[in-house]
Amino acid sequence: MAKMKNHTITELREKLLSKELSAKEITLYYLDRIKKYDEKLNTYITVCGQDALKKAEEFDNSFEKSKRKKLGGIPISVKDVFSTKGIQTTCASRILEGYNPVYSATVIDKILDEDGIILGKTNLDEFCHGSGTTTSYYGSSRNPWDITKLPGGSSGGSSSALAADLCAGSLGTETAGSIRLPASWCGVVGLKPTYGRVSRYGVLAMGSSLDSPGPLAKSVEDAALLLNIIAGYDKHDQTSSKVEVPDYLEAVRRGNIKDLKIALPKEYLDMKLEDGVRENFLNSINILKKLGVSIEEVSLLDPKFGIAVYTVTCRSEVSSNLARYDGSRYGFEGSNNETITENYSTTRGEGLGEEAKRRVMTGTFSLSAGYSDEYFKKSEQVRQLIKEDFDDILKEYDVIIGPSTPSVALSDKDAENPLFGELADVLAEGSSLAGLPGVSIPNGLANKMPTGIQFIGRHFDEATILTLAHALEKEIGRLTLEL
- The model's pLDDT over 445-465, given as tens digits with 9 standing for 90+, comes to 999 999 999 999 999 999 999
Catalytic residue among 131, 140, 141, 154: 154
Model confidence band, residue 417 (pLDDT cutoffs 50, 70, 90): confident
pLDDT at 344 over 70: no
| C-alpha distances out from residue 172 to 124, 177, 268, 462, Å | 9, 11, 25, 17
Task: Report the C-alpha gap between 36 and 44 in whole angstroms.
Answer: 13
* 345 tagged catalytic: no
Fold classification of 2-476 (topology level):
Amidase signature (AS) enzymes (3.90.1300)
pLDDT at 372 over 80: yes
* 140 tagged catalytic: no
* 378 tagged catalytic: no
Catalytic residue among 79, 110, 149, 218: 79
pLDDT at 65 over 50: yes
Model confidence band, residue 341 (pLDDT cutoffs 50, 70, 90): very low
Catalytic residue among 83, 136, 140, 178: 178
pLDDT at 3: 73
pLDDT at 437 over 80: yes
Task: Report the C-alpha gap between 438 and 456 in whole angstroms.
Answer: 4
Residue type, 312: V
pLDDT at 1: 57
Q: What percent of the chain has pLDDT over 70?
A: 95
Task: Report the C-alpha gap between 421 and 425 in whole angstroms.
Answer: 6
Model confidence band, residue 171 (pLDDT cutoffs 50, 70, 90): very high
Task: Report the C-alpha gap between 477 and 187 in whole angstroms.
Answer: 12
**Dihedrals phi, psi of 233, to nearest 5 degrees:** -65, 145
Q: Is 254 exposed, middle or buried (0-12, 13-18, 19+ CB in 10 A)?
A: exposed
pLDDT at 349 over 80: no
pLDDT at 445: 98
Section 160-178 average pLDDT:
98
The two most distant CA atoms of the chain are separated, in Å, by 67
